[in-house]
Structure 1
């Protein structure tokens, strides 16, 4: 059969296997490929022979020169107990996918803290030890994103990022906060809530802006209360003064604290005030309450970020910007307002 211009994704589809399996077979990574059943390996090779598939020469040369190491850079410290639970699923997904692909991970820890933030670029940065890197963190300085793109360093952000220069796009695997927040806000209105509020920054990080955008899509005139340095009791006081019956809180930890403040005032949740958590807790919380809201697909974001970075490094076509759906949680803290 005459050779045609196919990709590893095409081969994977025809052989009914994953693209990772095709990559392992093609590049004969002994430790990882040894786990592939002989029947599966033969099926992949049969499709390659029948289609006349030829891997892109440049991609193969780049692959041969690779260290088979992916870097992981975290803009926030991920190991202290205050953040370990939140970041663990991301790292677990990254580790799991890297292991499946026969790759090593290099965690960059030498970056100094400047003005309260870690920086990937510094005098002794070791980015080039890795074939490419995954970026993890709530805030990524725009100047660092600009430089990474300008220098054409292979990277993928775990989380949606805007390119300050608009082009080319920043590669990322993120969560679809807009759709999830809009769906929950619509549920509140369907239950009979007429006065709703959003508590959270709503700006700065893309994840914050996306949540507020989802809220605004349904509740264009809903109240927005950026917490900043305000005490939660003050936030609660304003909610009550505006007769708000359902509040959407960006972080589960803040949602729990706000619900606790409401109960101390003698209010019931969700009877007097429905509290919806727009994501998981970024710090440990003492409560085991079943909050209505959504979970962030953290582990799958980590897994797919590795896959996207591998596609970039191997020259395989892939959507450079991917959003994964959030898992909606019915919970027990969103109900019809009292009296309905």
Structure 2
């Protein structure tokens, strides 16, 4: 298969979808890998490193898309890329369709095959391609939140862990999944007073067992959230409903109940955000203030640590990329059920129900395409 790795053009996105080690593994299996000139530089990987791994460097993004049967990316295509995507081309990347109607319609119109990292799902309901970036984002959420608690940046002027004789900051984490767990470890390690709020009692029992003593758990509901936010210093939104838009757990009116200088970090921004006043920001302009509450809503947080993120992402995606390249997407999906929920849009049809429901668009079960493959084979 011919595989293309374009340079990411989203604002301040320095990650690349495939590191040289990953490129080498694909080339070893007889595949052709085209990497756009300087695609890896932001992550510390030079064109020469890719060439040494057996990849071919192409000068432009247009040439990379035109040459490839499968495009491997990090972030969803943005508007300048829409016209570059070809019919039947396989696009393997993070899409987060349910929060972005123009992207969804563009991919439907392209008649490409869109396989989303974030909805590839194991039999235990875990999301193996979302986990590495969720781990990065969860840890970064606290790192950034601690920074913006500083007074010159709009915060309360509180040191997250305090010092002897002063109380540590109160950190509320909405969601006890991968992002929430990593955020809790980070905040606890810095000495904060941490509360994880979740709706699953089994998950909270587990977290109570493994977390240090400065981490508590609490049932997530509107009453408890309203109670906790009144004294919170940092609130991390870490809610995920796979493939669907995140629910608003912090509503507009709740900001009035928070103290001035409270910091909100919404890691769920890619899926529409779990904070109603959340809107996507960039590393270039990461925050805004509403009702004296600081909002940090960067949609590609791991892009700020691209070396770590690129290696972590390639480690997770490469086994699936190899299957897709070796077998084609239909056969790979039939032989590996984990790939089936990753299929979101196929040749003009939305085949992931949560995405179709988000925009009241027609839904076509993915079985239509997989059954065709069974018949043809």
TM-score normalised by structure 2 residue count: 0.37
TM-score normalised by structure 1 residue count: 0.40
Greater radius of gyration (CA): 1
